Amino acid sequence: MPYTDHFKLTDDLIQHLDIVFGALNDPFIESRYTGFLAVSAVTVYELAIKTIFNEFAEKKHKVFGTFSNAHFEKLNGRIMIGSLKGEHVKRFGDKYVARFKKKLDVRERAFLKAHGASVRTSYGNVITWRHAFAHTGVIPATATYLEVKTAYQHGKEIIHCLAESMRH
């Protein structure tokens, strides 16, 4: 399954929530939906990352694929950019870390220029908001539904950079 297929789960949720938010006028319920969106976004990020690493390893060698599947089974939130570079990609070799870093730098500059937004900050914010909601039940007051939705979309760029970096 292509890693991008995982995004459909959250993309479909957003389509539904866009309709729901039009009829809502309750800040508490809106904050709950916003928190659920952050949780969903990070879940699909994790699934996509696992798929990228596992497919890469399986293409290298069947045994490596088996090892990778077992290793990444419990990725559980350890997907900040620093963890991706320093912990996960590093296990595959410095060549892939360098590729990932270069692709991130290029994408960041291009995205800032084209959209005035940082993909790194967006990705990190979604993960931070998810952790806040999942562990305290509260989404930061400064994170609106639109901000979480937009940050999720921008954060996908980090996943695309990872996928591009983990090619043979």
The CA angle 7-110-142, to the nearest 5 degrees, is: 60
Predicted TM-score of the model (pTM) = 0.93
Cα–Cα distance, 96 to 131 (Å, whole number):
28
Range of the domain at 126: 3-165
CB 81 within 8 A of CB 88: no
Indicate the SS3 state at residue 27.
helix
| Cβ within 8 Å of residue 156, ≥6 positions away | 7
Cα–Cα distance, 149 to 6 (Å, whole number):
16
- DSSP character for 24? -
**Predicted local confidence at residue 92, as pLDDT:** 93
Assign residue 76 a region: left if phi > 0, alpha if psi is -120 to 50, beta otherwise? Answer: left
**Predicted local confidence at residue 93, as pLDDT:** 93
Total number of domains constituting the chain:
1
**Predicted local confidence at residue 15, as pLDDT:** 97
| Cβ within 8 Å of residue 85, ≥6 positions away | 97, 100, 101
**Per residue in 107-132, pLDDT tens?**
999 999 999 999 999 999 999 999 99
Indicate the SS3 state at residue 144.
coil
**Mean pLDDT, all residues of the chain:** 93
Instruction: Reply yes or no on whether the pLDDT at 76 is more than 80.
Output: no
